[in-house]
Amino acid sequence: MRIAKDAVVTFNYVVSTEGKEVDRSDPANPLIYIHGRSQMVAGLEERIEGSEAGSHHEFSVPPEKGYGVFDQDLEVGVPVDAFPEQFRERIMPGFRFQAEHPSKDGQMVVFTVSSVDDGKARASGNHPMAGKTLSFVVDVVAVREATAEELEHGHIHGGVGCGMRDGSCSGDHCSRDGDDAHGHDHH
Ligand SMILES: [Zn+2]
């Protein structure tokens, strides 16, 4: 079958930016997702739609269809004192917090602290790949229909329970046990 909305797609990929490889899948454990639900960056889903198992694709994805454009407003400096007292000791590189976008009312953004100097934390709300054009090499391994249950849960079931084939699951609502009966509650 061809890749269309709600198809379960298995693929391998290599992604590079500015001529440097940044990530690749392990061919022994390719990526699996449900197409058309924004589980992959938009530019990738668009480019492989309509193709079949065995197809090979090389293409680039602009930031707007990748991890977003770089937003200078999301590079912020925050005095450590501005955080609630119970968090202050934990403000260090890698600390994440949610706050409203500095120039877009009501839009919540997750910021990651990059450095702390003189009582001031530098933090970024940009995705590390924001502003980058992504070069993809994609090999589609398999395409199949999703089951009704997979569509309802919004993720694939790989034979060892919920989530990916190793039994782990990235869904918040899924237990990490990967029980065969798939008996966890979904909301
Ligand atoms: Zn599930």
Give pLDDT, residue 139: 98
Query: What tens-digit pLDDT sequence spans the chain (187 residues)?
Result: 999 999 999 999 999 999 999 999 999 999 999 999 999 999 999 999 999 999 999 999 999 999 999 999 999 999 999 999 999 999 999 999 999 999 999 999 999 999 999 999 999 999 999 999 999 999 999 999 999 999 999 999 875 455 544 444 555 555 444 444 454 445 4
For residues 43 and 12, state if they share a domain: yes
- Rounded distance from Cα 184 to ligand 1 centre (Å): 8
Which residues constitute the domain of residue 53?
7-66+131-146
Pairing verdict, β 56-61 and 134-145: antiparallel
* CA of residue 171 to ligand 1 center, whole Å: 8
Q: How many domains does the chain have?
A: 2
How far apart are the CA of 17 and the centre of ligand 1, in A?
33
Q: What is the model's pLDDT at position 4?
A: 98
Hey, CA dihedral for 179, 183, 185, 187, is it positive or negative? positive
The tokens for 157 are: 């079931």
How far is ligand 1, taken at its centre, from the CA of residue 36, in Å?
18
Q: Identify the helix (H) or strand (E) that includes residue 141.
A: strand 134-145
d(CA 100, CA 83): 14
Are residues 61 and 135 part of one domain? yes
Report the sign of the C-alpha dihedral through residues 67, 73, 76, 81, in that order. Answer: negative
How many angstroms separate the alpha carbon of residue 14 from the centre of ligand 1?
Answer: 28
